[in-house]
Amino acid sequence: MQQLVDKVKEIIKNKEVDVVIGWGRGSLPFSATPIFVETEKDAEKLIFDETCRNNLTTYLTKDKRRISKEYKKIGIVVKGCDSRSVVLYTVENQIKRENVVLIGIPCNGVFEKKKLSQLVDGKEILDFQIDRENIILKGRNFEQTHPLKEVLCDSCLTCQYPDAPEHDYFIGTPRKEVNVPDAYKTINEFGKKSSEERWAYIQEEYSKCIRCYACRNVCPSCYCPECFVDQNDPQWIGKTPEVTDSIIFHLIRNLHIAGRCVDCGACVSACPVDLDLRIMSKKVEKEIKERFDYTAGIDIHEKPAMASYCEHEKQDFIMG
């Protein structure tokens, strides 16, 4: 991705930014790793491909906003979903848009490690190769070919904004038409089940949560200086990994990101026990879309759904 490297070198040289957050080659076959580029030389390390999983905008608000304190102007390499997070931060007054330089990049989707692992039945993948529409997975005693689509994140498969709607520079050629069959297919199908069936699935799924909070910490929308789970005076929720406590954590987190989730899928990828986190977040996204006709992170001038009020809004959720 020479164009990306050149652009970053240029904006560093022009002192347009003090740092650029991008992806570098990771230590595992399917992991890119976040890097903080301050010099033209370091810009050589930048990559972009299907392994660039993380939503790097999350660093803007993490760790007491360390990055915003250390650097005045921050450049970030963004995929579509990542750029939407920056819109979110802007409309929620978390950053000043002019302090961030966005280098947009057309995204064809990123790999979901857990899907890869399932395809090879848990065996270790040591290398891979992309051959047009297919991916060849290689391990010690196997080599398998699969359609590329099978290993992309669910979020990517229903993504409607792969071209970083918000950006200052754009690298490469935008993807043209994006045909998403039905973004809410899984949710609608799940909704058709009986409430007992749905509850059984949610209980079964969330009973495996180990409460490591990786989902919360990678989430760009989770930026509270103090999360409700860390409130212990008085304590808000039980801290055990028992299903009742874990479900409350996930329910509250999902309500808190209602109308704010950009469906980047970072939580799904980060979960060390492969929970189906999107079953909740996508449902909440759908509700917001249907009730308020609002999609998070698209319009930098529009007030967020949960921060505005309109008389014509459906209120049946209040009236029962």
**Burial of 121 from C-beta contacts in 10 A (0-12 / 13-18 / 19+):** exposed
Smallest distance, another protein to C-beta of residue 245, A: 9
The DSSP bridge partners found for residue 34 are: 23
In the complex with another protein, the residue whose CB is nearer, 30 or 169, is 30
CA 128 to chain centre: 23
The set of residues, in sequence order, having a beta carbon less than 8 Å from that of 232 and lying 6+ positions away, is none
When the beta carbons of 110 and 270 are compared against another protein, the nearer one is 270
Between residues 3 and 31, which has the closer beta carbon with respect to another protein?
Answer: 31
| Consecutive H or E run containing 34 | strand 32-37
Q: Nearest distance from residue 50's CB to another protein, in Å?
A: 15
Helix (H, G, I), strand (E, B) or coil at 286: helix
- Select 181 or 234, whichever has its Cβ closest to another protein: 234
Environment class of 243 (CB within 10 Å of its CB; exposed 0-12, middle 13-18, buried 19+): middle
Residue 308 CB, nearest approach to another protein (Å): 30
- Closer to another protein by Cβ: residue 210 or 300: 210
Q: How far is the CB of 226 from another protein (least distance, A)?
A: 8
* Shortest distance (Å) from residue 298 CB to another protein: 25
SS3 121: coil
Q: Which residues contact 169 (CB under 8 A, 6 or more apart)?
A: 7, 11, 101, 102, 103, 104
Residues that bind another protein (CB under 8 A): 26-28, 31-36, 54, 58-59, 62-64, 66, 114, 118, 122, 124, 126, 140, 205, 208, 210-214, 216-218, 226, 230, 232-233, 235, 238-242, 266, 269-270, 272-275
Kindly tell me the sign of the dihedral angle through the C-alpha atoms of 216, 221, 223, 226.
negative
Nearer to another protein, 27 or 93 (CB): 27
Q: Output the smallest distance, CB 64 to another protein, in A.
A: 7
CB nearer to another protein: give 216 or 278. 216
CB of 295 to another protein, least distance (A): 25
CA distances from 101 to 167, 259, 280 (A): 8, 24, 32
